């Protein structure tokens, strides 16, 4: 298992991304809890010059059981201390599913208790001081006690403490919110700051409640003003529970209107997390409220639907034309794939070949009981989901059994109140396998049509390589056959052509001497413009790896490249040698093109940037030089 698979998984499931990352011989970054902002993991990558490989490690905040610690990839933490931290070593023996489960538990254990209101940063903003409480009879303290509306007093009495169903907070909130559904207030007193994620009426003081209901009254009348983050979430929870709306459709429309006019406005310092949660709740709300499938699709992220569409094409490629299959391959191969020389010089033929080869190997390339598609994208996963779990939500109606077939690779199912999602999870994708397939097809196209910049074979799986070669040969044969069929000869016109040729021949006859001179001129012209086909048949391994590396091993280009990789000051090196950044970039890219098949550096505004996708490949090559 690789560290990248974990990063893909937690980004998709928990909306967690790396932070505070920096590059050197030791690369570290943090993962923080999405609600509290506290660090739950430290990721460490270190380049091992002896082995020429990256060592990947993670310190995870999780009190592992003895069973967990018995796994050989569960080790002591490298940087963190204490019994609440464990270390994870990423290697061939690391169990992907087990690591995903550990991270799910770590995130769950890091959730704030639902009966505690936290600020967005996980820190309290309140300052507590000693206050003298006057108890003298008839004191001003008692006389100045503010008026509390009877409705709020009655609402507080509705809170029940004898419910042990596990939904105490949500059920109490729904009961109180229903009671206060039509309540309005006009209070403008001073209240202390409050900001939390799972805030309900029960968490607020009387003044805070009056302030909230005053703000809610203004929102319902189309007047928007800045307020606390907890009030924003509280208003969203009300609409999710159907408070203030007559139907689920109206609730969703009001949520979208609130997003457009308030959240997208300038009323919040940072609306990123609220928007992310709200868009997630749109989808989950449409599921639990049994919206039509076409309506549900509107709330699935466009990137997910685009990925599903590409997966569906590659899984059932026989039902799609060549252009659609090629575009699906391009979706996963990346933008750099589209800059390949084979596509620039022989685009039409390349599209046909890529589509033909994929369809062929998908049909015949069954290895170890798995299709090529499964090798590249894994199997369809059936996992449990919990709609609106990260919101204060209560629905007193039973959810009927329902099936949502979104497309051929994604569906949602509810049975006996339990939800399942069937889909292909990006964390299980084997991008390296797909890239190697694309690379091999690209290599064969360059060889067949003599396009130059020839590539070395990189397929580790020889069986897949043989499938690709068979499919490629058949595709080329079919292309040539189609080209011959395009040549239409009108045999009825041949006689006229011969007669015209005789007339032309007679009119062009000249003296023998003149003819010799003209033939000499013609021969000279032909020799000047003729194509030397032998050049194209030169050995493609003339500029082999060893020759190329020996040429640059002591060269300034390699030294500059090392500086760029290490993050050192390469500009001083360029300046002291009177060189130009653009020329250096072109030279290094040309040197490594045969091994990598793409540009490894980019030059913009006098700066040279390393294409991070190829860092490990470059270090592998440079490691050979060190040896």
- The residue ranges of the chain whose pLDDT is under 70 are 20-26, 50, 52, 113-145, 162-166, 195, 486-554, 597, 623-627
Question: How many beta carbons lie within 10 A of that of residue 440, not counting itself?
Answer: 22
pLDDT at 462: 78
CB 442 within 8 A of CB 342: yes
What length is written for the chain? 627
CB 425 within 8 A of CB 382: no
Taking residue 84's Cβ as centre, other Cβ atoms within 10 Å add up to 13
Closest CA to 437 of 508, 537, 359: 359
The half-sphere exposure of 152 on its side-chain side, counting CA atoms within 13 A, is: 18
Write the pLDDT tens digit of every residue in 467-519. 999 999 999 998 988 887 765 555 555 556 666 666 665 655 544 444 545 54
Question: Residue ranges of the domains in the chain?
Answer: 3-109, 146-297, 302-378+429-485, 491-530, 545-626
Retrieve residue 97's tokens. Answer: 């599913």
Distance CA 367, CA 22 (A): 40
Find the radius of gyration of the CA atoms of the chain.
Answer: 34
Cβ–Cβ contacts within 10 Å for residue 480, how many? Answer: 11
**Is residue 40 a contact partner of residue 34, using CB atoms and an 8 Å limit?**
no
CA distance 153 to 279: 35
Output the six-digit token pair for 9: 């998984």
Single out the residue of 239, 248, 194, 242 nearest to residue 219, CA to CA. 239
CA distances from 529 to 396, 517, 525, 532, 535 (A): 86, 19, 6, 9, 14
- pLDDT tens per residue, range 529-562: 443 433 444 344 344 444 444 444 447 888 888 8
Q: What is 545-626's CATH number?
A: 1.10.10
Q: Max CA-CA distance within the chain? A: 141
* Reduced DSSP (H G I as helix, E B as strand, rest coil) percent helix, strand, coil of the chain, to 5: 50, 10, 35
Q: What percent of the chain clears pLDDT 90, i.e. is strictly above it? A: 39
Cβ partners under 8 Å of residue 575, min gap 6:
none
The pLDDT assigned to 391 comes to 93
Write the DSSP symbol of residue 365. -
Query: 193 with 228: CB under 8 angstroms?
Result: yes
Quote the pLDDT of residue 458.
79
Cα gap 40→34, rounded to integer Å? 10
Through-space distance between the first and last CA atoms of the chain, rounded to whole angstroms: 28
CA dihedral 380, 381, 384, 389 (to 10 degrees): -90
Provide the whole-model pTM: 0.59
291-328 pLDDT, tens digit each: 999 999 999 999 999 999 999 999 999 999 999 999 99
CA dihedral 48, 49, 51, 55 (to 10 degrees): 10
| CATH hierarchy code of domain 3-109 | 3.90.1150.30
Give the separation between CA 183 and CA 244, rounded to whole angstroms: 10
- CA–CA distance, 311 with 294 (Å, rounded to integer): 20
Within 8 A by CB and 6+ apart from 525, the residues are none
% residues pLDDT > 70 (the chain): 80
Give the pLDDT confidence score for residue 420 in this predicted structure: 95
- Tokens for 404? 């949502």
Token pair, residue 531, equals 């194509």
CB 68 within 8 Å of CB 56: no
> What pLDDT does residue 76 have?
87
Find, among 261, 251, 185, the residue nearest to 223 by Cα.
261
Phi, psi of 455 (to 5 degrees): -105, 155
Tokens standing for residue 430: 């084997």
Q: Which residues contact 35 (CB under 8 A, 6 or more apart)?
A: 110, 111, 112, 118, 122, 197
């Amino acid at each position: 298992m690789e560290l990248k698979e974990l990063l893909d998984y937690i980004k998709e499931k928990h909306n967690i991304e790396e932070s505070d990352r920096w590059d050197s011989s030791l690369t570290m970054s943090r993962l923080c809890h999405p609600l509290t902002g506290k660090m739950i993991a430290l990721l460490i990558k270190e380049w091992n010059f002896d082995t020429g490989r990256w060592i990947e490690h993670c310190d995870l905040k999780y009190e592992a059981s003895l069973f967990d610690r018995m796994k050989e990839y569960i080790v002591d933490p490298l940087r963190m201390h204490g019994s609440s931290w464990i270390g994870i070593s990423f290697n061939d023996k690391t169990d992907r599913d087990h690591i995903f489960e550990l991270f799910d538990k770590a995130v769950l254990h890091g959730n704030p208790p639902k009966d505690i209101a936290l600020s967005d940063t996980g820190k309290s903003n309140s300052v507590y001081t000693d206050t003298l409480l006057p108890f003298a009879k008839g004191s001003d303290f008692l006389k100045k006690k503010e008026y509390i509306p009877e409705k709020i007093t009655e609402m507080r009495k509705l809170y029940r403490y004898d419910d042990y169903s596990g939904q105490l907070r949500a059920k109490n909130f729904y009961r109180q919110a229903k009671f206060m559904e039509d309540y309005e207030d006009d209070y403008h007193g001073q209240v202390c700051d409050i900001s939390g994620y799972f805030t309900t009426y029960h968490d607020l003081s009387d003044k805070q409640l009056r302030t909230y209901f005053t703000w809610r009254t203004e929102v319902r009348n189309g007047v928007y003003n800045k307020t606390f983050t907890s009030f924003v979430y509280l208003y969203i929870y009300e609409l999710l529970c159907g408070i203030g709306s007559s139907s689920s459709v109206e609730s969703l429309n009001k949520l979208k209107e609130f997003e457009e006019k308030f959240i997208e406005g300038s009323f919040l310092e940072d609306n990123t997390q609220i928007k992310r949660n709200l868009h997630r709740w749109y989808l989950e709300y449409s599921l639990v409220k049994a919206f039509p499938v076409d309506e549900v699709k509107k709330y699935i992220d466009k990137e997910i639907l685009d990925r599903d569409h590409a997966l569906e094409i590659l899984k059932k490629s026989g039902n799609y034309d060549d252009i659609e299959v090629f575009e699906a391959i391009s979706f996963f191969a990346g933008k750099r794939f589209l800059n390949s020389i084979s596509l620039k010089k022989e685009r039409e033929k390349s599209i046909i070949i890529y589509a033909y080869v994929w369809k062929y190997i998908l049909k015949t390339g069954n290895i170890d009981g798995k299709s090529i598609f499964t090798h590249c994208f894994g199997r369809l996963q059936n996992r449990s989901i919990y709609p609106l779990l990260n919101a204060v939500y209560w629905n007193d109606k039973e959810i009927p059994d329902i099936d949502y077939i979104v497309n051929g690779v994604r569906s949602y199912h509810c049975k006996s109140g339990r939800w399942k999602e069937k889909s292909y999870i990006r964390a299980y994708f084997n991008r390296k396998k797909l890239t190697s397939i694309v690379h091999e097809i690209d290599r064969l196209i360059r060889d067949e049509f003599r396009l130059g910049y020839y590539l070395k074979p990189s397929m580790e799986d020889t069986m897949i390589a043989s499938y690709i070669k068979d499919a490629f040969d058949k595709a080329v044969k079919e292309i040539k056959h189609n080209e011959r069929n395009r040549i239409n000869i009108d045999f009825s016109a041949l006689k006229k052509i011969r007669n015209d040729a005789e007339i032309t021949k007679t009119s062009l006859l000249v003296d023998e001497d003149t003819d010799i001179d003209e033939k000499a001129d013609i021969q000279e012209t032909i020799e000047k413009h003729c194509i030397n086909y032998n050049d194209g048949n030169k050995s493609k391994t003339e500029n082999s790896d060893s020759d190329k590396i020996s040429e640059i091993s002591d060269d300034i280009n390699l030294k500059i490249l090392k500086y760029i990789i290490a993050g050192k000051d390469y500009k001083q090196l360029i300046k002291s040698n009177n060189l130009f950044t653009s020329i250096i970039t072109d030279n290094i890219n040309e040197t490594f093109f045969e091994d990598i098949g793409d540009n490894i550096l980019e030059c913009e505004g006098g700066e040279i940037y390393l294409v991070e996708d190829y860092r490990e490949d470059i270090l592998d090559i440079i490691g050979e030089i060190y040896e």
